[in-house]
């Protein structure tokens, strides 16, 4: 499709793929939220794109695969993976892409997504990072929101593979039921992005959605989101108990 006057190849997940993501902003950091399966799908998208990118190529995780947040039922934004080394992506591009969403259910073709080497990297991620540390790259990617799209903008193929391993190594099957990795540079002590996974992601999404509906049904007038969210959290806690 044409975006900001230039042709782009927009790649998306195959319709019906059994994966869900959500997004939110917390502590100045944009979060990509999912379960372990979702994090590994994200890892494969990043790893494959690091090798297969061509100028004008982006990957979009569209509305079919984006659900409300597992905390308070807030709506989430579509996700865009951008290989910044060969594909510029500005606010103008984001506006043009957002206007074309949701993507057509009749794509022009399919891509064989190759992720050779990722499984081996994920069997021993710490060893992979030691072996592939890049001390010569001063650029670091960022995660930001552009016109209602959460954009993972990665500066080099090597950095994109780092982000893939950071996502794919996450395991929420611990006593906390969650795990996370930071992505990119941010301001002060905060990273600009984070991938966070939850053991009960889909259950938490369902509970938060029901809690939000219960709270809204009991309100006599609209309230500010900062007032609404604590009410939803409290209701969700009671539903879980």
Percentage of the chain with pLDDT > 70? Answer: 96
pLDDT tens sequence across 63-86: 899 999 999 999 999 999 999 999
pLDDT tens sequence across 108-131: 889 999 999 999 999 999 999 999
Q: What is the pTM of this model?
A: 0.93
Question: For position 129, what pLDDT does the model report?
Answer: 92
Name the least confident of 92-101, 178-187, 209-218.
178-187
* C-alpha to C-alpha distance for 206 and 201, rounded to whole angstroms: 9
Angle (deg, nearest 10), helices 157-168 and 125-132: 160
Three-state SS at 6: strand
For the cut 70, the answer to whether the pLDDT of residue 208 exceeds it is: yes
For 122-164, the DSSP string reads: HHSHHHHHHHH--TT-----EEEEETTEEEEEESSHHHHHHHH
For the cut 80, the answer to whether the pLDDT of residue 137 exceeds it is: no
* C-alpha to C-alpha distance for 63 and 77, rounded to whole angstroms: 8
């Amino acid at each position: 499709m044409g975006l900001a006057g230039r042709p782009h190849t927009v790649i998306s997940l195959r319709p019906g793929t059994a994966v869900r993501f959500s997004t939110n902003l917390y502590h100045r950091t944009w979060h990509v939220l999912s379960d372990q399966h979702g994090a590994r799908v994200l890892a494969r998208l990043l790893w494959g794109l690091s090798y297969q990118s061509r100028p004008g190529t982006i990957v979009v995780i569209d509305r079919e695969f984006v659900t409300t947040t597992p905390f308070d039922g807030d709506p989430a934004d579509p996700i865009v993976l951008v290989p910044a080394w060969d594909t510029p992506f500005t606010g103008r591009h984001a506006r043009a892409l957002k206007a074309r969403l949701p993507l057509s259910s009749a794509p022009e073709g399919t891509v064989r997504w190759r992720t050779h080497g990722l499984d081996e990297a994920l069997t021993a991620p710490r060893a992979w990072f030691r072996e592939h540390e890049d001390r010569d790259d001063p650029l670091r990617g960022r995660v930001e929101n552009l016109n209602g799209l959460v954009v993972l903008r990665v500066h080099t193929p090597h950095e994109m593979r780092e982000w893939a391993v950071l996502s794919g190594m996450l395991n929420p099957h611990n006593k906390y039921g969650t795990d996370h990795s930071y992505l990119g540079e941010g301001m002060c002590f905060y990273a600009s992005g984070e991938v966070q996974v939850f053991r009960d992601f889909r259950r938490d999404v369902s509970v938060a959605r029901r809690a939000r509906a219960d709270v809204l049904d009991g309100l006599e007038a609209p309230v500010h989101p900062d007032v609404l969210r604590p009410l939803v959290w409290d209701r969700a806690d009671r539903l879980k108990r």
